[in-house]
Structure 1
Amino acid sequence: MRLNECLNHASVPTLQRIAKSLHVACVPYSKLDILQSILEAWLDPDARKTMVHRWCADWDAAMRRIVLLPRHAFAREEMASLLAPYGDGAVDRALEAGWLYVHPDPATKFPLIVPEDVCQACHAHYVANWRSKVAMRSDDPPCVLDEEDAILADLETLVAYVRDHDVRLTTTGALYKRNLEQVMQLFKIEESLELPRWRFGYGKRTFAYPDRLALVYDFACDEGLLIEHDGRVEVDDARWHAWKSRLTVVKLRRLLRHYVISYRGPIPRLPDVLRLILRLGDDWLHLDSLYDLCLPFLNPFYYDSMSDVWRTRIVKMLVHLGIARLGSDAPECPPEWFQTTELGQELLSRGDEESTADLIERRPALVVQPNFELVVVSPDPRLEETLAPFVERIPSDGVRAYRVLAHTVAQGVRAGHDFDAWRACVARHALYGIPQNVDRMLVRWAEAARLELEAHDVEPGESWA
């Protein structure tokens, strides 16, 4: 809906408050005069510029996100979450400010609207501001790193390797190091297999594999191309043949979608970063100034600083996906320039159109690792209080981690805590579910603890030492 339609459906008291907020002179008791006066002010370029500047200044953080979204209608809970930093009654104040309106259909799923022309004007204001803050260059840097669609070739290499070899999994659900080394030697893009102690949050198997391989392997499993069964990895030939028949752009779009889903847990504003990059077009952009521009949408994540998140989790992965390429002024110099590829522009645009991303903050979450460690991704005292009866805390700096073992499960069962409810809670909050080996052992340990209580004829919660 456009502004004139929203104003036409607004009540007289609402129009009066909007006119007062915008300092529009009018006859306050005539709906027609108020409406016409507001529209005349909006159609005046100078007055419209003043309105847009004021809205973008007063509601900056919220307006930045709104203009990046592909839709302009919101549920009340979404808008309340978006405007939460502005204090109590922020939604009502926004309705009086003249940029937010109530949908005329009370039965609609998204009852709050930002008019299309208002959103377009604010969008143009921000894009001009963003482009003025980013250093650009018109020529190509001397050295350019562009992986194009190498990730698809390496996905095919991984599937071919699994088909031609007897690939088995360790007890933690990872490939053996010998297999990893052989796969990495066949890949077009190699990665170091040396991993830090703490690895979690960026996909189901990031604990065991380097970043790019973890993304490829997770994607192959989620697409059903690879199947893990009884400690082995096998290829689903029917799904693989169907996958190979798809167009390259479709394959990369699905990989991009998988990347956003996998990384959005630790980087909640990742879709906003991608939309902002899309708005800047395909010019060569200076990495540091682009980083400064994206800072409002970035956050540290445990062992990753904001700079690590930017360079390793976003820039590097976009290059792997063929979305972007990097440039430097000499072979020995680190990358200084960033450019979205022509294919990257298409993929990001299509993803923007298809996006239905919500604005509601994510629920408290944790990562359950195959080595029986639970890492709390979104710290929440209530969640950790729920975890406590069946786990023990792992001493560590900066990471809220726990371990669940046979004796901790038995301890919780003996104390009378509901193990089944605990297990369901863990599954509900686990970003990537409970690994099969962990879930299988949890059930076995709980059953053993119950049998032990029965053997001693003791009710849960009673002392039986």
Structure 2
Amino acid sequence: MNLSDMLSYADIGQLSKIAGAYRCECNGNSKNELIQSILSEISRHDVLENQISSMRLEDLRFLNSLLFESRQSYSLEDLVARVQQSRFGEVKQASTEEPAKKTKKSKKKPTLPPEPPSPRDIIVQFKHQGWLFNGFSGPGRYLFQVPNDLKSRFRETLRRKFAEQLHYTDEPPMYRDEQGLLQSDIKQLLHYVYHNEVQLVTDGSMYKRNLQQMLDRMGVQEELPSKGAWRFGYGRHFNHYPDRFSLMYDYCRSAGYISETADGWLSITDAGKERLEKPATAMEQVHLYRYWLKLYKTPVVNLLSLVHWIHALAADWVTIASLKDVFVPFIKTYYYDDAHAILEARLLKMMMHLGLLRIGEDPVHGTVVRMTKAGNAVLEGTVSGE
């Protein structure tokens, strides 16, 4: 539903609180006047822009987590968890800072940082601004929704805000474009498994000899992970396999093209043989993209929104340095991966491997990126055909 629909279902008490948040001047006893005044205020671009500009970073992260999902409703517990995830440990860091050293003459107690609003307080604040609404009857009254038209306006307002901070350039003299290569290398992997006996180690990974032979066949060359490197969270055998190959292997296993047998062998399935005989389809790129989102969304909790922002902001060549300035504050560190590494290696580089993004080198501005036509089609949902 849109904002006007949700306002019409709201009671006069909630309408009064929303009107108060926007300082509407109207008859507070008239539901119709309250609704019209609220719609009039919220429809102004400067009002929404000013509100977003004055938001704290953690509240912006919370808002961002609600903007790109297809789901329409959220439980209170889900919203509370999202608010907590949006804080990235800043509250803990603030409370553990060492107090200033006292001088002999000073008897003042160290000033403690103010207590942050609780997650429920943030949710109530969003309700009072007309950004979140409860359901109105039945089981749905315990669920929350964001008005669809407000979602669109939030996305557009934030897009303009982010774009102002980005540095766009001309096409670089050199760039990498891997459209179609991942699908071709899936065929190489299946071909190798079909024609070779591939025994597995007790932990389920391949012996290095077989793995290296597979990697040598790939259209995109990758090195084996360095010995002793901390690698986990991005796939079943991510500690043994390079990033791109790890994704490809897990996808093939998930799609039922290969199987790890109980007696320790890797074998190709009937579905894998069928895939080996057929050319790649346009929809396979969509399936790979969706599988990547599913695999990476646990370590990168706001992966979906980050991908959509790259799609919205990289229609032209843009520097990675300026993308970092905008998006690193929205990325939560994952163990040994800091926000910079997650943006470059887990997001931009993998989007290139998926054929969604080109990555180039500008002699003046450094590394730059741009969406591909195929990437735009995948993100916009216009890919068709099997």
TM-score normalised by L of structure 2: 0.82
CA contact (8 A) 2:68 2:305 kept: yes
1:283 shift after superposition: 1.1
1:284 to 307, 317, 338: 317
**Cα deviations across residues 176-220 of structure 1 (Å, max 9, x unaligned)?**
222122222221111112523132221001121111111111211
2:147 to 83, 93, 115: 115
Distance 1:179 1:169 in 2: 9
CA contact (8 A) 1:55 1:99 kept: no
1:55 shift after superposition: 5.0
For the residue of structure 2 that corresponds to 1:290, the secondary structure is helix
Distance 1:184 1:76 in 2: 47
For the residue of structure 1 that corresponds to 2:322, the secondary structure is helix
Indicate yes or no: 2:80 matched with 1:49.
no
Alpha-carbon spacing, 1:110–1:256, altered in 2? closer, same or farther (3 Å): farther
Distance 2:18 2:373 in 1: 43
Distance 1:51 1:215 in 2: 40
Indicate yes or no: 2:219 matched with 1:222.
no
Indicate yes or no: 2:174 matched with 1:143.
yes
Alpha-carbon spacing, 1:96–1:246, altered in 2? closer, same or farther (3 Å): farther
| Partner residue, 1:437 | none
Output the amino acid matched with 1:8: S
1:254 shift after superposition: 1.4
| Partner residue, 2:12 | 12
Q: How does 1:162-181 map to 2 (within 5 A)?
A: 162-181=193-212
| Partner residue, 1:26 | 26
Indicate yes or no: 2:294 matched with 1:297.
no
| Larger Rg over CA atoms | 1
Distance 2:70 2:371 in 1: 20
Alpha-carbon spacing, 1:7–1:171, altered in 2? closer, same or farther (3 Å): closer
Output the amino acid matched with 1:145: R
1:97 shift after superposition: 2.0
| Partner residue, 2:281 | 248
1:99 shift after superposition: 2.2
CA contact (8 A) 1:278 1:349 kept: no
**Cα deviations across residues 375-422 of structure 1 (Å, max 9, x unaligned)?**
xxxxxxxxxxxxxxxxxxxxxxxxxxxxxxxxxxxxxxxxxxxxxxxx
Distance 2:176 2:365 in 1: 11
| Partner residue, 2:102 | none
Output the amino acid matched with 1:226: I
Distance 1:108 1:246 in 2: 46
Query: How many pairs were matched up?
Result: 345
Output the amino acid matched with 1:219: Y
Alpha-carbon spacing, 1:291–1:11, altered in 2? closer, same or farther (3 Å): same
| Partner residue, 1:91 | 123
For the residue of structure 2 that corresponds to 1:325, the secondary structure is strand
CA contact (8 A) 2:293 2:303 kept: yes
Aligned-CA RMSD value: 2.5
1:235 to 268, 272, 275: 268
1:265 shift after superposition: 2.4
TM-score normalised by L of structure 1: 0.68
Output the amino acid matched with 1:49: D
Alpha-carbon spacing, 1:239–1:14, altered in 2? closer, same or farther (3 Å): same
| Partner residue, 2:74 | 74
Distance 2:186 2:19 in 1: 59
For the residue of structure 2 that corresponds to 1:89, the secondary structure is helix
Output the amino acid matched with 2:161: N
Percentage identity across paired residues of the two chains: 27
Distance 1:266 1:67 in 2: 19
| Partner residue, 1:161 | 192
| Partner residue, 2:98 | none
Distance 1:307 1:253 in 2: 26
Distance 2:313 2:142 in 1: 29
1:311 shift after superposition: 1.9
Indicate yes or no: 2:57 matched with 1:61.
no
Alpha-carbon spacing, 1:186–1:77, altered in 2? closer, same or farther (3 Å): same
Indicate yes or no: 2:235 matched with 1:213.
no
Relative contact order, higher structure (CA 8 A, sep 6+): 2
| Partner residue, 2:381 | 350
Indicate yes or no: 2:134 matched with 1:102.
yes
Unaligned runs of 5+ in 1: 352-465
Distance 2:318 2:210 in 1: 39
CA contact (8 A) 1:99 1:115 kept: yes
1:70 shift after superposition: 3.9
1:302 shift after superposition: 2.6
Alpha-carbon spacing, 1:182–1:269, altered in 2? closer, same or farther (3 Å): same
For the residue of structure 1 that corresponds to 2:25, the secondary structure is coil
For the residue of structure 2 that corresponds to 1:265, the secondary structure is coil
Distance 2:197 2:160 in 1: 56
Distance 1:52 1:13 in 2: 26
Q: How does 1:193-208 map to 2 (within 5 A)?
A: 193-197=224-228, 198-208=230-240
Alpha-carbon spacing, 1:7–1:244, altered in 2? closer, same or farther (3 Å): farther
Alpha-carbon spacing, 1:108–1:147, altered in 2? closer, same or farther (3 Å): same
1:292 shift after superposition: 1.9
Distance 1:349 1:244 in 2: 30
Which segment is superposed worse, 140-149 or 251-260?
251-260
Alpha-carbon spacing, 1:6–1:314, altered in 2? closer, same or farther (3 Å): same
CA contact (8 A) 1:174 1:208 kept: yes
Unaligned runs of 5+ in 2: 88-116
